[in-house]
Structure 1
Amino acid sequence: MASSKVVYYLPDSANPFWREVVAGIERKMAAFGLAFETVSAGHDPTLQLGQLNECLQSRPDGIFVSPVDMDSVSAPCRAIGRAGIPVIGIDQAMTGSTTANVIAGNMKGGYLAAHHLAASLAAGKGIVHVEAEDLPNVALRRKSFVAEAARQGLQIIKTIQADSSRQKACAGMNQFLTEKRRFDGVFAENDAMALGVIDALDSAAYSPWPVIVGFDGVKEALEAIRAGRMHATVAQNPGLLGEKAAEVMMEVMAKRPVEITTSVLPTLITRRDA
């Protein structure tokens, strides 16, 4: 087993969420005595497709996959599995294309974000919703958030599409600020975008400071919460997600049965917890 190698095909190594997933996998891989490599797609679905196709030539002993675009990687993941290489999906349930999946509880996460904003703001207050890509896990998060926000009487006055990018979120918020519309809260569908919103608000010296809620629980977001720049984040615990995925991989490689889908439920982290 010491000579075995496992490879993680991830969307973007620049994203702090994925870096923490990698750190979680690395901790377990080191304990298990397995060699571990990462292959980043730079958020390019075409590049990731090519990387997975090349995997059949390099033939690692197992792979983890977090797809940039789930539809485009389904076929190569199935081919890799048919070649006898275990495929563990991380953060998205790629049922039918993988050996097993380890995912976050996105429905609960969206609810927690909206519920916290509602508890922090009066009914009828305006909020800005910063969206990531239309991935299945994000869609669950978004659907749950929008439904609970409406139920609580919050008004989504602006939606900004930022593709999980801190830079795009900053640019989108800068553009929105030129509209001179009042808002009281922000929900960003990941922490990187929440930090981009903070960058824009800091640059504009915006006041009064809104209630900002992110999603992921990455280190820089926790630092922003402690500094009073963010109000909360829905922590998926990406490190634990990586550790669980590594444990599932070990079970599969040992020919032991595993659940098709393992969920790691999120928690809300505020200044009291950070």
Structure 2
Amino acid sequence: MRNKNLAITTALALVLGMSAGARADEPTYGVLLKTLANPFWGAMSKGIAEGGKQSGVTIFQQAAQSDQDAETQLNLCNTMLERNPKALIAAAINSSNLLPCMSSANQSNIPVVDLDANLDPAITAKAGVKIAFRIGSDNTHAGAQAADFFAEHLGKSATGPVLVIEGLPGNVTGEMRASGFKDELAKVAPGLKVVASLPGDWDANKAANVTNDTLQRNPNLVGIFACNDTMALGAVESVFADGKGGKITVVGVDGTVDGVKSIKAGRLTATVAQLPYLEGIEAVANVKKVLAGQTVPSVIHVPTLVVTEAVLTAGTDPNLQYMK
């Protein structure tokens, strides 16, 4: 079944992954995402395709069916290298699964880009893998922004228990968001205490179960910070099912289409938008600079934006144009 799924995923990538209007004489960039089942990566994919158009390059995109299927992602990466792309832009599922493929890319003098800063620099350095540049939001800062919103929304003197729903264990992105939130919350609203910090595996159903269990132990819960919108939306469903909709502040990260819809519907309180569409455009543009021999920063941060119903209603923030 795994081989069948791999074949299906690869076939879909072959059909959908090439930039529209690509020419045979254009250089090809290989792009490996986690999964297109998550709206965040769907927006990233669109931004990368737009970046290909703007930079005049062909984009070949592939993705695993699940953001937990590390083995399939490695197989896709190895297959991608057989096309001899000019660059490999990869959003690894974890800090180690793609290291063999990235090492092979290094040996073939193919620049490797850490898309969305998913790799632990210490692990890549130990493995001898060279990264051309890392691009993504400052995930620690994104978590801190969520904490600042809690302090603003609930008040700096607010008290009560708070739940943190982490991502997949071992994933550096989720770890940075969670730690950024907890560290900042302790500074700006010390009366808000994190009573549980549990993995949600980027999954809405698991996040909903974590929320249910935490509400049973802490019926006076005042807030939930989830490390992505998918889990935040799962938490929201549990909160409303428990009859506490609107009474518990729920904040996610990503700024997905579904997250924004939930905010407009008065369910999700806020999201820290990561602007993956803009990140995709910038990733391709900076790869082109690298291949042209230009120097780019080793770490490129894309801005983040705290999105609330008020921000959406005002519609004046220039970064809103990149929310796809």
Cα distance in 1 for partners of 2:42, 2:138 equals 19
1:75, 1:97 within 8 Å by CA — same for their partners in 2?
no
Q: What residue is the counterpart of 2:150 in the other structure?
A: 117
With 9-18 and 159-168 compared, the bigger mean Cα shift is at 159-168
1:169 aligns with 2:207: yes
2:146, 2:272 within 8 Å by CA — same for their partners in 1?
yes
2:93, 2:118 within 8 Å by CA — same for their partners in 1?
no
Aligned-residue offset at 1:16:
1.1
1:26 aligns with 2:46: no
2:118, 2:171 within 8 Å by CA — same for their partners in 1?
no
Q: CA RMSD in A?
A: 2.0
Aligned-residue offset at 1:193:
0.6
1:210 aligns with 2:248: yes
SS at structure 2 position matched to 1:24: helix
1:143 aligns with 2:166: no
1:185 aligns with 2:223: yes
2:160, 2:222 within 8 Å by CA — same for their partners in 1?
yes
1:189, 1:215 within 8 Å by CA — same for their partners in 2?
yes
Give CA deviations for 1:79-127 in whole Å, capped at 9, x if unaligned. 2022122221111164553222212111211111111112222432211
1:7 aligns with 2:30: yes
Cα distance in 2 for partners of 1:208, 1:81 equals 51
| CA separation of 1:7 and 1:180: change in aligned 2, threshold 3 A | same
1:93, 1:261 within 8 Å by CA — same for their partners in 2?
no
Structure with the larger RCO, 1 or 2 (CA within 8 Å, 6+ apart): 1
Q: What residue is the counterpart of 2:117 in the other structure?
A: 92
Indicate which of 63, 79, 87 corresponds to 1:62: 87
1:102, 1:264 within 8 Å by CA — same for their partners in 2?
yes
Aligned-residue offset at 1:207:
4.6
For structure 1, the residue ranges without an aligned partner over 5 or more in a row are: none
Give CA deviations for 1:145-196 in whole Å, capped at 9, x if unaligned. 1112222211112333211112221232233344462211111011111111
1:224 aligns with 2:241: no
| CA separation of 1:209 and 1:28: change in aligned 2, threshold 3 A | same
Cα distance in 2 for partners of 1:207, 1:193 equals 16
Aligned residues: 274
Cα distance in 2 for partners of 1:212, 1:233 equals 9
Aligned-residue offset at 1:248:
0.8
SS at structure 1 position matched to 2:225: strand
Q: What residue is the counterpart of 2:40 in the other structure?
A: 17
2:236, 2:245 within 8 Å by CA — same for their partners in 1?
no
For structure 2, the residue ranges without an aligned partner over 5 or more in a row are: 1-22, 122-128, 313-324
Indicate which of 307, 310, 320 corresponds to 1:269: 307
1:22, 1:242 within 8 Å by CA — same for their partners in 2?
yes
Alignment-mate amino acid for residue 145 of structure 1: F
| CA separation of 1:56 and 1:180: change in aligned 2, threshold 3 A | closer
Q: TM-score, normalised by structure 2?
A: 0.78
Indicate which of 132, 144, 149 corresponds to 2:167: 132
Alignment-mate amino acid for residue 110 of structure 1: G
Cα distance in 1 for partners of 2:112, 2:197 equals 35
1:72 aligns with 2:97: yes
With 186-195 and 173-182 compared, the bigger mean Cα shift is at 173-182
